[in-house]
Structure 1
Amino acid sequence: MIQRFADWLVYGVFGMSAETHFGSAVNFFFYDSVKILILLFLISMVMGIVNAYFPIDKLRHYLTTRKLYGFQYLFASLFGAITPFCSCSSIPLFIGFVKGGIPLGVTFAFLITSPLVNEVAVAMFLGSFGLRATAIYVVSGILLGMIGGFVLGRFRLERYLSPWVRQLQAQSDTKSEVWAEERTPFVRRLPVIVRDAWGIVRGVLVYVLIGIGAGAAMHGYVPEGFFEQYMSKDNWFAVPLAVVCAVPMYANAAGIVPVVQVFVTKGIPLGTAIAFMMGVVGLSLPEATMLKKVMTWRLIGIFFGVMTLFFILSGYVFNMCL
């Protein structure tokens, strides 16, 4: 239905030709914009319902007062997956976790998963690549958070936290608190959830349109085989090249998924494209700068190095599975 609407609007109302590069690019832009914005709003609604019944403070309290025998990495990754943050937006909550005395490995599990998996990424992935690829992407993002958090936690890197954080941790009071159950009926929460979902859509709208616009331009004008020359599945260095090129960049899922979609249509294997996306949204130079408040440069380097390696390995695994 959305494709028919885009065809009617671009080729019927606007009178553009489907045989031209410009007409093809404009058609792609309208089709992807409508599809992704609808999916984004619906999934933001679902995530808003989850967040309404799973508050941040309760999670912090739970992780600091219970013995979870390793499941804390899963809980932190799942919480990261349902929070709509990019790599830089995750930093304030990450700092709060560290200051609150949550183990460093657990906070890393959140920091890794939060920008990789969120309703924006899921909605756009679902619309672009289908249910199977989206499920693999979501599960792998959560597993990366769990494994990355566990590995980094085993390194016992607390000594590389900044003196400011260590002082705050020493003063942290982790006494148990009694949490009152939320009694607000769902029908009274729904208007707030809808408003918040629309706020998320408005907040990323510019990034979505810019990303889709870039993807549309590439879709319409980049010749077939251009990317295959350097990033085909036959080139063993394609995945490392994609990740290494992606890490210095900064974008959120709204801006990068349409570009990834075009990469795939131009011949890049989906696994390589996902590894590129993970490098862009999961690590960035602005993120490193913000982390300097709570980490030494050595710890930031270890974090970036370990995650770059994990993204590369994930790209090879994705190419075997997809």
Structure 2
Amino acid sequence: MEDFNMVWDFFQNEILGMHWLNRLVESGLHACGLDTTSKIGGTIQFFIYDTIKIMVLLGVLIWMISYIQSYFPPERSKKILGRFQGTGANIIAALLGTVTPFCSCSSIPLFIGFTNAGLSLGVTFSFLISSPMVDLASLLLLMSIFGWKVAVVYVLLGLIIAVAGGTLIEKLELEQYVEEYIRNVPAFHAAQKELRVKERLEFAWDQVRGTVKKVTPYILVGVGIGAVIHNWIPESFIVKVLGEENPIGVVLATLVGIPMYADIFGTIPVAEALLGKGAELGVVLAFMMAVTTLSLPSMIMLRKAVKPKLLFVFISICFFGIMFVGYFFNAIQYLIV
């Protein structure tokens, strides 16, 4: 067991966490005459290390997940979901959402396509909640920062929210609150071409290039904010606002996260810096969930597909689900960190 723990610690710290890279960056800055214990030196070290680490993980993870995703194009996903009924269909939809490395804005067109294809509203909403909130990339990224226990519980809770949210929307029978132009467009079922290995590899590389191009600005901004928090904002201030001294820290973090637009790759460095400064784990994860799931741009896009009442129900489910996740993690933080 001790040998297994040593191997796992090495994998988590040196492979996923890339601690060797942090030491390399620190040595390089020292060679340039920069003191990394100073605020300026620490900020530069944090920025270089986190940027390189996240970009490398981004490329590797998106390539792997995109290759898997090549087996689940929209038409095939529709066929898979169409075979299930009830809660089982919601579970499958939520699981399919985990292999789509999309932000919420990218998930909405697929949501529209699923609705247009005649899938039940609850099933499509389970997919819509799961896709930006939890995916395989988030599992490995969270594992690299917070450890495997936090990562696994985070993903499981996200899936539970997706399944429960979709089931509730199904029970409320809100189909009439989908915009008419989506409900009335006839579904088009295109024949699916079976891809060869070479084509799947090309698809994966295209996804990597497209994703990197799209999210790089958000990663740089997120790492920059994280570097400032890590080196310039007093720990006492973070603890007071987002620590255990503030019982509404989860609510505050969620409300701050909603107007922002980024994906998990952009929020990770901010979350890492906040946790290092004394913010509670649940507060940090609630912020991440709010940014990735309820960003203002994605809600504006979703409003074009659904009417205000259904949009309000969706936002309420996600908001209170995020609240639950945040306070749950705060309660068990001492057990898993």
TM-score by length of 1: 0.89
SS of 1:89's equivalent in the other structure is helix
Residues 103-122 of structure 1: matches in 2 within 5 Å?
103-118=120-135, 120-122=137-139
Q: After superposition, what is the alpha-carbon deviation per residue over 1:272-292, rounded to whole angstroms, capped at 9, x for unaligned?
A: 110111111111222222122
Is 1:12 equivalent to 2:31 in the alignment? Answer: yes
CA change 1:10–1:127 in 2 (3 A) is farther
Letter in 2 for 1:9: G
CA change 1:192–1:271 in 2 (3 A) is same
SS of 1:88's equivalent in the other structure is helix
What RMSD, in angstroms, separates the aligned Cα atoms of the two structures? 2.2
Letter in 1 for 2:223: I
CA change 1:246–1:192 in 2 (3 A) is closer
Q: Which residue of 2 aligns with 1:82?
A: 99
Is 1:161 equivalent to 2:172 in the alignment? Answer: no
Determine the C-alpha separation between the residues in 2 that align with 1:114 and 1:156. 22
Determine the C-alpha separation between the residues in 2 that align with 1:192 and 1:92. 19
CA change 1:132–1:198 in 2 (3 A) is farther
Q: After superposition, what is the alpha-carbon deviation per residue over 1:34-86, rounded to whole angstroms, capped at 9, x for unaligned?
A: 2222222221222022112222211112323x244421111111121111211
Q: Which residue of 1 aligns with 2:289?
A: 278
CA contact (8 A) 1:84 1:120 kept: yes
Is 1:143 equivalent to 2:154 in the alignment? Answer: no
CA deviation after TM superposition for structure 1 residue 203, in Å: 3.1
Determine the C-alpha separation between the residues in 2 that align with 1:183 and 1:274. 37
TM-score by length of 2: 0.86
Determine the C-alpha separation between the residues in 2 that align with 1:210 and 1:183. 37
Q: After superposition, what is the alpha-carbon deviation per residue over 1:1-46, rounded to whole angstroms, capped at 9, x for unaligned?
A: 2122111222223x21123101011111112122222222221222
CA deviation after TM superposition for structure 1 residue 149, in Å: 1.0
Is 1:255 equivalent to 2:266 in the alignment? Answer: yes
Determine the C-alpha separation between the residues in 2 that align with 1:119 and 1:10. 34
Letter in 1 for 2:52: V
CA contact (8 A) 1:36 1:127 kept: no
Q: 2:66 aligns with which of 48, 51, 56?
A: 48
Residues 280-299 of structure 1: matches in 2 within 5 Å?
280-299=291-310
CA contact (8 A) 1:244 1:308 kept: no
Letter in 2 for 1:229: K
Q: Which residue of 2 aligns with 1:228?
A: 239
**Matched-pair identity in %:** 34
CA deviation after TM superposition for structure 1 residue 244, in Å: 2.5
CA deviation after TM superposition for structure 1 residue 118, in Å: 3.4
Q: 1:209 aligns with which of 220, 241, 255?
A: 220
CA change 1:20–1:50 in 2 (3 A) is same
CA change 1:8–1:218 in 2 (3 A) is same
Letter in 2 for 1:6: V
Q: After superposition, what is the alpha-carbon deviation per residue over 1:112-167, rounded to whole angstroms, capped at 9, x for unaligned?
A: 11111235534532332222222222222222211111112111111212222232
Q: Which residue of 2 aligns with 1:305?
A: 316
